[in-house]
């Protein structure tokens, strides 16, 4: 089915608008991080979110090219008669570049590259989220183990997805073979293996990442309305999973229009992934800016600080009491809380909550064995004699 010129132009306007909006969101996130910690103190997630602009831009350009240059044609959804008529030995194959045969060959090549860029965008964002959770749970040994597992899961699933894209059809040139029928594994626009691998591994990795912050937020000592808001804030992966499922359903439901519609939904899914993953990372800064408008609804404490270093927005800093080499030992305007994880006090750690422009709601996980919280406020002042 040939993509109409009007539909291609409409998709192009939408796709590049979403791309521009996503880049703007990433730049806003970067600006917020510069205001919070300075460029020199950027962490891995900051660089990864900037890096995602490259594959996202390529993905959008490829998706537009499928419709605009190749008219939505690929080597899928063809009868045996149609394939024979468009054989490389036929006269039609040697016509001008805009023939249907060349369009199907070129469109199939674009599909292989497009799927690869699509997966790269999503998995780089997953890695950025996992790196952000390292900051969010800094000092919590149990969460660190989960995050190392998460990083391993992200790397292994991305490797599996890309390998399925590139090595499921051998020899490689069969990905754009028209006649004879190369089989579904060599039809990148509608390959069931592509769809199964992306959907299953995307959902598995997203669900795992959701299970890292949600239990911690659920047990946080914060007002219920804020708790629900934060859980929603960190649950953006659900929207990405829904968009991914919808994309794959469209491809399977209609193999004729599925490739074009799938490319459209790939760009939408990438935008949703960028937007939902950037919100938790910039919430601390945004809350400070929106506080004059929404007042106490966004306020978690009354303490203010001019320090721009130290813990990141939403971070929980746990450290042994004997360790005084951390940022907190150098800045006395943090709030110190000693948390004992059992009634006997066998485990005694310091919980530091940074306040000020880079702050966020303090998150104190509940220990089901009972916890005892002792709060100590220290104020350090100095007088300079002239």
Given a cut of 70, the residues of the chain with pLDDT beneath it are 1-5, 87-102, 258-259, 284, 289-290, 293-386
Confidence (pLDDT) at 302: 42
Under a CB-based contact definition with an 8 Å cutoff, are residues 94 and 86 in contact?
A: no
Q: Closest Cα partner for 137 from 22, 216, 228? A: 216
Under a CB-based contact definition with an 8 Å cutoff, are residues 190 and 251 in contact?
A: yes
Confidence (pLDDT) at 42: 93
Strands (E), the chain: 317-320, 335-340, 348-353, 372-376
Confidence (pLDDT) at 100: 62
Confidence (pLDDT) at 161: 96
Confidence (pLDDT) at 292: 72
Given its phi and psi angles, is residue 351 left (phi above 0), alpha (psi -120 to 50 degrees) or beta? beta
In whole angstroms, give the CA distance from residue 307 to residue 38: 11
Confidence (pLDDT) at 131: 93
Q: Closest Cα partner for 112 from 75, 149, 139? A: 75
Q: Closest Cα partner for 146 from 132, 157, 130? A: 130
In whole angstroms, give the CA distance from residue 55 to residue 118: 8
Under a CB-based contact definition with an 8 Å cutoff, are residues 240 and 62 in contact?
A: no
């Amino acid at each position: 089915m040939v993509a109409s010129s009007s539909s291609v132009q409409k998709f192009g306007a939408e796709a590049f608008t979403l791309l521009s909006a996503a880049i703007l969101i990433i730049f806003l996130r970067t600006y917020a991080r510069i205001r919070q910690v300075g460029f020199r103190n950027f962490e891995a997630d900051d660089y990864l979110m900037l890096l995602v602009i490259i594959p996202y831009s390529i993905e959008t350009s490829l998706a537009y090219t499928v419709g605009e240059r190749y008219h939505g044609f690929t080597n899928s959804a063809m009868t045996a008669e149609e394939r024979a008529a468009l054989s490389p030995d036929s006269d039609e194959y040697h016509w001008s570049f805009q023939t249907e045969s060349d369009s199907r060959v070129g469109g199939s090549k674009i599909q292989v590259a497009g799927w690869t860029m699509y997966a790269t965008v999503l998995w780089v964002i997953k890695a950025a989220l996992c790196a952000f959770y390292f900051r969010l749970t800094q000092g919590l040994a149990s969460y660190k183990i989960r995050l190392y597992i998460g990083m391993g899961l992200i790397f292994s699933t991305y490797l599996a997805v890309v390998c399925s894209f590139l090595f499921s059809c051998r020899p490689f040139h069969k990905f754009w073979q028209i006649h004879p029928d190369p089989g579904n594994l060599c039809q990148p626009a509608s390959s069931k293996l592509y769809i199964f691998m992306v959907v299953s591994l995307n959902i598995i990795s997203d669900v795992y990442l959701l299970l890292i912050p949600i239990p911690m937020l659920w047990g946080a000592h914060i007002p219920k309305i804020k708790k629900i808001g934060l859980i929603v804030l960190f649950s953006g992966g659900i929207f990405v999973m829904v968009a991914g499922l919808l994309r794959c359903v469209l491809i399977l439901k209609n193999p004729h229009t599925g490739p074009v519609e799938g490319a459209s939904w790939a760009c939408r899914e990438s935008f949703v992934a960028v937007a939902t993953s950037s919100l938790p990372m910039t919430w601390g800064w945004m809350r400070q800016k929106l506080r004059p408008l929404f007042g106490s609804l966004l306020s978690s404490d009354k303490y203010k600080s001019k320090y721009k270093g130290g813990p990141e927005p939403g971070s929980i800093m746990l450290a042994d009491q004997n360790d005084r080499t951390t940022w907190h030992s150098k800045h006395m305007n943090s709030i110190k809380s000693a948390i004992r994880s059992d009634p006997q006090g066998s485990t005694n750690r310091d919980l530091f909550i940074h306040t000020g422009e880079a702050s966020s709601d303090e998150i104190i996980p509940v220990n089901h064995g009972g916890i005892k919280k002792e709060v100590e406020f220290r104020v350090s002042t100095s007088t300079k004699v002239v």
